[in-house]
Amino acid sequence: MMSNHKQIEFKEVNNDNFRAVVKLTDTLSDMQKRCVAPNVVSIAQAYLNPEKAWVRAIYLDETPIGFVMLNINPDDIKDDDMPALYVWRFMIGGAYQSKGYGKMAMDMILEKARKESKKTVYLSCGMEYEMPYQFYMNYGFTDTKIMHDDEEVLKIYL
């Protein structure tokens, strides 16, 4: 099955793909829109936090199918788990979900973290719905049982 999947890659968000990346948010269900900030908001926050934010579009061939924003300099992680990378925003467009691309993109995030000798990858997610919590637990994240801004904090050791 997986061998039928095409490769995905991360590309910078620029003037050429900005609109397509912003529009990906419209492809989410109303429920999913409650789980992740609109991509346009994330891009604006990245502009305001240049020392922390690492922003990429997730591409399948020439098509942007998702969006990721990492905090590459998180400052609120316990010392034992540092250095850490924090997945700030993560989404796959509606038409491309449940095809394994989210998992592949998470593999690439962890690979980036490993290359940079990070010890952990952290993220937080709303507990209102089964997804995306189930996606992260299936992937291998551990529930820290800590809440941050009404979201459950999850982590994975590298």
| Site for ligand COA, rule CB under 6 A | 28, 32, 35-36, 90-92, 97-103, 125, 131-132, 134-135, 138
* Beta strand residue intervals within the chain, DSSP E: 8-11, 53-60, 63-71, 84-92, 120-125, 142-148, 151-157
Report the residue number whose CB is nearest to ligand COA: 102
Between 72 and 131, CB nearer to ligand COA: 131
Q: How far is the CB of 102 from ligand COA (least distance, A)?
A: 2
Q: How far apart are the C-alpha atoms of 31 and 86, rounded to whole Å?
A: 23
What residues contact residue 144 under an 8 Å CB cut-off, 6+ apart? 152, 153, 154, 155
Q: Closer to ligand COA at the Cβ: 49 or 134? A: 134
Q: Which of these, 27, 42, 30, lies nearest to 128 by C-alpha position? A: 30
Shortest Cβ 126–ligand COA spacing (Å): 7
In the complex, the smallest distance separating the C-beta of residue 154 from ligand COA, rounded to whole angstroms, is 9
Work out how close the CB of 10 gets to ligand COA at its nearest, in angstroms, rounded to a whole number. 14
